Amino acid sequence: MKKIKTLINEPTKTLRLYTKEEKLIAIRKRIENVEKSAPTPFFDMYMRPHNYLRISLTEKCNFRCLYCMPAEGIPLKPSEKMLKNEEIFRLVKLFAKNGVDKVRLTGGEPTIRKDLVDIVDEISKTDGIKQVGLTTNGLILHRLLPNLVNAGLTKINISIDSLNREKFAKMTRRDGFEKVWRSITMAQDYFPKVKLNVVVLRNQNDNEILDFIKLTETQNLDIRFIEFMPFGGNEFKNSNFVGYNEMLSKIIEKYGNAIEKLDDSKNDTTKAYKIRGSVGQFGFITSMSNHFCNTCNRLRITADGNLKVCLHGNSEVSLRDRIRNGDSDEDLESVIQSAVNRKKAKHAEFRNGQFTKPPKSSNDFNRRVTTQFQYLHNKSTHSNSIRLIHTSHLNLDNNSKLTHVNANGEACQVDVSHKPQTIRTAKACGTIYLTPEISRSISENTVKKGDVLTVAKIAGILGAKQVPNIIPLCHPIQLDLVDLKFDHDLENHKITVISTAKCNGNTGVEMEALMACTMSLLTIYDMCKAICPKMTIGEIKLIHKSGGKSTYQAD
């Protein structure tokens, strides 16, 4: 046996020294060693392994936090569209088989689930799962905590945004401070460290940063200050945003050289610090000002069973539908790996500090999609509720006349030589309604002709450049920009295109924007018609123009 063990580790060039039988035994041993080794995780195209799975158990929540959702709540999906427990457990086992060893349960508010203890118990028993965490608002956690710990809960994050009862009630739109604090106190008896999540908003709770820091002096708490992230329905304003540097400056002003920077592990989302001599620590989650995408190891499953590879992205893949359609584990693994392969290097749709607007709001923490946001160091204000208006009243007597017809009623091209050269912008939008099969194929990038949205974008840009060759009386224009954004609504099986055209010239670019939108929609149809021709294109319209005599903004 000693000889065989030696053989297993021998370089290939020495194998000729052993008999055929010894070689076969060694090969079998090597295979056994490989099978016993740790599973291989899902890697993306940037060689990031994914060993952390976040699962939303519900869309429901018993709070209405200012930064999270509208006061009236959100429409909830029917229960039959939610993942069943057996589907959750199957997915956990599948992900564990592929290298996931950490699971975190989120919501909505996961403690609303009456079967939460049973869910934790089953997940904690799964081979390969080493940690089971919970993110909660803490309102009813104290009732469940002993049983959750006995079931296998190993990590706890509790959200609390104010230490003042009245302010807490204002921020959560609920009166529950005492119950939440009771849960925090109890949690410290069960866990070596309790993490508190604090979303910081200017003129709301930013004056409590030092109060939270003071807690760490005597309590083993990890206070995590979170930058406010904008998404549909959460009343985001740039004036409310408080960045990491500003928060840290307040703490430095108070504690100075007593602040110690702690080592962050490879996959930490928090920049960790502590006050010298304190029991606890604090940190900052800087999703907006300083992303941590390079070491992202997280995948998310929404309450209705969609896989999201990036919190800030629109792309989702329905694992629920795959399971209910009878897909094998191997089929599911292939779908998951394909989705992971499409994960971007950093925040999906993050370009130059901006995020695209989400198609909808959601109370599912695994389905957060940020709205358009420009990080401006708080020098300007921005509201996500913009009133769309006409900025000039048109003179109907003059503008009702056709400009492409001369005094004799003959078609002619308009003379624009006398018009001033200005920066002119136009935006158009349109929608294509898909079948469920086509919608899923586009989302999963399984259309045989290729990446549908990428090709559609290129087609839209090319189309805009061809306007004077297609529309008889249009002027050739030196375009400075043609851009297209795609909003894929998986639930309603439709894609909305928003096109933008811009130039520095003496005539408008409305036709270029409309052509770009139209060509991209036609390209989507062309690439998918082999799956099913039952698609409808519609609602193509101009939604904005500026830079000329008049400015237009659609209602």
526 in active site: yes
Strand residues in 305-408 grouped as ranges (E): 306-308, 317-318, 350-351, 354-355
Return the H-helix or E-strand segment holding 453. Answer: helix 452-465
In sequence order, what are the beta bridge partners of 217? Answer: none
Buried/exposed 232-267: b ≥16 CB within 10 Å, e otherwise:
bbbbbebebbbbbebbbeebeeebeeebeeeeeeeb
**Per the residue annotation, which of 268, 480, 526, 555 is the catalytic one?**
526
Cα of 21 vs its chain's centroid, Å:
55
For residues 52 and 295, is the Cβ–Cβ distance under 8 A? Answer: no
φ and ψ of 331, to 5 deg: -65, -45
Q: β-pairing, 422-433 with 536-546?
A: antiparallel
Cα end-to-end distance, the chain, whole Å: 81
In sequence order, what are the beta bridge partners of 275? Answer: 259
| Residue keyed to tokens 């055929």 | 20
For residues 476 and 444, is the Cβ–Cβ distance under 8 A? Answer: no
For residues 358 and 232, is the Cβ–Cβ distance under 8 A? Answer: yes
Report the C-alpha gap between 139 and 181 in whole angstroms. Answer: 9
From the list 454, 216, 302, the residue with the least C-alpha distance to 310 is 302
φ and ψ of 494, to 5 deg: -150, 155
In the chain, the largest separation of any two C-alpha atoms, in whole Å, equals 104
**DSSP secondary-structure letter at 187?**
H
What is the DSSP secondary-structure string of 250-292?
Answer: HHHHHHGGGEEEPPPPTT-SEEEEEETT-SSEEEEE-TTTS--
Report the C-alpha gap between 340 and 296 in whole angstroms. Answer: 12
**The dihedral of CA 62, 158, 131, 46: what is its sign?**
positive
Report the C-alpha gap between 148 and 397 in whole angstroms. Answer: 74
Determine the Cα angle at 30 with ends 26 and 33, to 5°: 140
Catalytic residues: 526
